[in-house]
Copies of this chain bind each other. A is one copy, B any other.
């Protein structure tokens, strides 16, 4: 039975679930980036043999789940729940993947925070005894996201320097109540925070306050401090959001600079790849965590990681109606048994 003190946002697990295996699939551009060698599969073509980008994204999720199961020496039928989401309207990638996989399915939406949401709920479902094994997976796709949220690619519009580049990628993690691998020890579930940013081309700034809120709450709830982590990594704040987060956390009394970075900063080489403020999307923290970070945890380069996926909860409709951009961040604390 988990421990959660009244009034706190953080759960500490008594039986911390194991992340027994992961998998990641990314597009060609992500494969050319600094983490290219770490991904499990780099696609040659972002259509992945499908007739639309949406179906390609759905295939990425489906194949990523299969590969993660295989890496964990499990069959698909051993996975008792599929906790999945993406950025597409009505979660088209996740639902069509769930149709093919035939695993009992919980659809989740937290914009780009969804990977930490799926890991958080997944960890509770394992620790609570509701499953022996399950899979958490999220994805995004540059082409499907651009046409849904902004403009058709054929439009060729110019991007603001504060804009981020949606990652074409997916990451899947198998959580289990036994086995080997890093363990999820705590989850801190975020509240929605909105400091009034309206610029849909500056989502890093919109999401940063929610990251700060969740990270500082995590520290206050647990008594842990930045020095207790080898790595604190936000999801997709990019260069601008990362800087804001670092500064705001310092103001709150938490100096994270020695251990802090952001998946959206790591995944692209902004200068060479023309990705401006960095990567974003549900697939950003999913693919970076499930490849580079997970592997470096197995290698013991990192032994204690706080993954903080961050989401901008805007919609084209809310933006058109003049609303500001709410942000949310969930934190997942992952530890090697040392």
A102 and B318 contacting across the interface, CB-CB below 8 Å: no
B4 and A131 contacting across the interface, CB-CB below 8 Å: yes
Q: Does A54 sit within 8 A of B, measured CB to CB?
A: yes
Q: Does A205 sit within 8 A of B, measured CB to CB?
A: no
A8 to chain B: closest residue by CB:
B80
B90 and A128 contacting across the interface, CB-CB below 8 Å: no
B95 and A192 contacting across the interface, CB-CB below 8 Å: yes
A2 and B109 contacting across the interface, CB-CB below 8 Å: no
Q: How many copies does the complex hold?
A: 2
Report the separation of the CA atoms of residues A43 and B285 in the bound assembly, to the nearest whole angstrom. Answer: 42
- CB-CB under 8 A for A1 and B128, given A89-B315, A326-B95: yes
Question: Which of A30-38, A64-72, A117-125, A270-278 participates in binding chain B?
Answer: A117-125
B2 and A192 contacting across the interface, CB-CB below 8 Å: no
Report the separation of the CA atoms of residues A120 and B7 in the bound assembly, to the nearest whole angstrom. Answer: 23
B191 and A102 contacting across the interface, CB-CB below 8 Å: yes
A117 and B111 contacting across the interface, CB-CB below 8 Å: no
List, in ascending order, chain B residues with CB within 8 A of A156's CB. none
B96 and A106 contacting across the interface, CB-CB below 8 Å: no
B103, B110, B191: the one within 8 Å of A107 (CB): B110
List, in ascending order, chain B residues with CB within 8 A of A318's CB. 54, 90, 92, 96
Q: Does A259 sit within 8 A of B, measured CB to CB?
A: no
| Chain A: number of interface residues, binned into ranges | 35 or more
B98, B190, B314, B326: the one within 8 Å of A104 (CB): B190
B117 and A189 contacting across the interface, CB-CB below 8 Å: no
Q: Does A157 sit within 8 A of B, measured CB to CB?
A: no
- CB-CB under 8 A for A102 and B192, given A107-B109, A130-B4: yes
A99 and B192 contacting across the interface, CB-CB below 8 Å: yes
Q: Does A9 sit within 8 A of B, measured CB to CB?
A: yes
- CB-CB under 8 A for A104 and B317, given A2-B129, A124-B125, A128-B127: no
Q: Shortest distance in angstroms between A288's beta carbon and chain B's nearest beta carbon?
A: 22
Indicate the member of A88, A127, A313 with the most B CB atoms within 10 Å: A313
- CB-CB under 8 A for A190 and B128, given A89-B315, A90-B111, A318-B90: no
B132 and A130 contacting across the interface, CB-CB below 8 Å: no
B128 and A124 contacting across the interface, CB-CB below 8 Å: yes
A11 to chain B: closest residue by CB:
B130
- A contacts, CB < 8 Å to B: 1-4, 6-7, 9, 11, 51-52, 54-55, 77, 80-81, 85, 88-92, 95-96, 98-99, 102-111, 117, 120-121, 124-125, 127-132, 148, 189-194, 313-318, 321, 323, 326, 328
- List 23 interface pairs A-B (beta carbons < 8 Å), by A numbering: A1-B1, A4-B130, A6-B132, A54-B317, A54-B321, A85-B109, A89-B90, A90-B109, A90-B111, A90-B313, A96-B326, A98-B326, A98-B328, A99-B192, A104-B190, A105-B110, A106-B189, A108-B109, A109-B109, A121-B121, A124-B124, A128-B128, A128-B129
